[in-house]
Amino acid sequence: MRKLIALIVVVGFGIVFLQHPSFSHEGHTHIRTTENTEKANAVTEQKSAGEAVVNPDEAPSIVFENPNYDFGTIYSGEKAEHLFKFENRGKSDLIIKQVKTSCGCTAAASTKENVPPGGYGEIMATFHAGRDPGKAKKEITVTTNDPVTPKIKLSIAGNIIKDVITNPQWINFGTVTNGDTATKTIEASPGTDFNLEVTGVESDNPSIITSYKKHENGKSYIIDATLKGDAPIGKLKGNITVATNSTKQQKTLIPFSGNITGDVLVSQSVLSYGVVTQGRGSVRKLIVTLRKKDIDIKNVEITPEFLTANLQPKGNSDLPYREVEVKLNGDAPVGKINGNIKIHTNSELQPLIEIPVFGEVREPKPTKS
């Protein structure tokens, strides 16, 4: 009797247990795997975007063999190429909509735009190694009509090396007064395990003279770049070329820049009015710094006739300055402004300074009735 009662209890419990929704056949349809969740999310996203809903079970599916590629070690200036292979494991045609890279140093394109079910395609990626040595990693985004993974990120990475490393990589002489000299020092060192030999150093700007010698450490070189005192007033720019025994890096360029000033310094090299409505006129100001007390402005000329220039008195600071008020008159005609200001001084270095004037005069907008 006891055995019979126990059997009835067990059978009854089993029936209740199996009838629970969590364990019924119907209940199993609501327990999704990660893949099913992604497919459901894809449908939701299609609806939210107002797109035609594609059943993920009948859609294309893109799968890459390996979305990440390490090209190892590459020299600065060289390029690395790689084919990312993929397969369409879905049930309809896979369309490659876009292939976009994370920077201009990397190019990528698909070998096919349309891949049938079971078909294969490739993304050709090319990485151009820049000037800076060290680790580099760039991304490629592939956009397709796969509703589950419409965007896939690929990566290409590696280590950029250089036989010759210069410190600094570029030179800025800053602001230097005409007649003064300035020297900047660069160290050229081996970036890899080889015996560096500098065979020559040249500047493409005659205002810069160069010299070099071997560093006391026996491995590097010290390069001096000297700005000559007779450098012309204005912007200074150019390149220093370092020739070496490297087969990979026979020449290394070091850009340089600076600004050479004279006795007179004008606040702007160009005067712009932008866009001005006809009849309203406009006023701009130039600040002219006189870097020596015996230097002064003789007079100011300006063209065309609808522009006027008024020279204000000297300031009282240690470095006297003059203010030039430049006025665009209200009678200026409609059209482009192409003017010129001539500042005459008693400076031997800068007897004449010319400032171009630009802008545009437009007709007034019609008033609403």
Measured distance CA(152)–CA(365) in Å, rounded: 51
**In CATH, what number does 164-261 get?**
2.60.40.10
Asked if residue 25 has pLDDT above 50, the reply is no
Which fold does the domain 264-362 belong to in CATH? Immunoglobulin-like (2.60.40)
For residue 277, which amino acid is it?
Answer: T
- Claim: this prediction has a pTM higher than 0.85: no
Q: Architecture of 60-161 per CATH?
A: Sandwich (2.60)
Domain ranges of the chain: 60-161, 164-261, 264-362
How many Cβ atoms are within 10 Å of 204's Cβ, its own excluded?
12
60-161 and 264-362: same fold? yes
Chain segment 89-148, per-residue pLDDT in tens: 999 999 999 999 988 888 899 989 999 999 999 999 999 998 888 999 999 999 999 999
The radius of gyration computed from the CA coordinates of the chain, to the nearest angstrom, equals 37
Q: How many Cα atoms within 13 Å fall on the side-chain side of residue 213?
A: 5
* Cβ–Cβ under 8 Å, residues 191 and 133: yes
* Distance, C-alpha 315 to centroid of its chain: 43
pLDDT band at 9 (very low <50, low <70, confident <90, very high): very low
Peptide bond into 304 cis (omega under 30): yes
Chain segment 34-55, per-residue pLDDT in tens: 444 554 455 555 445 555 556 7
Asked if residue 199 has pLDDT above 50, the reply is yes
DSSP 68-97: EEEEEEEETT-EEEEEEEEEE-SSS-EEEE
Chain segment 78-96, per-residue pLDDT in tens: 999 999 999 999 999 999 9
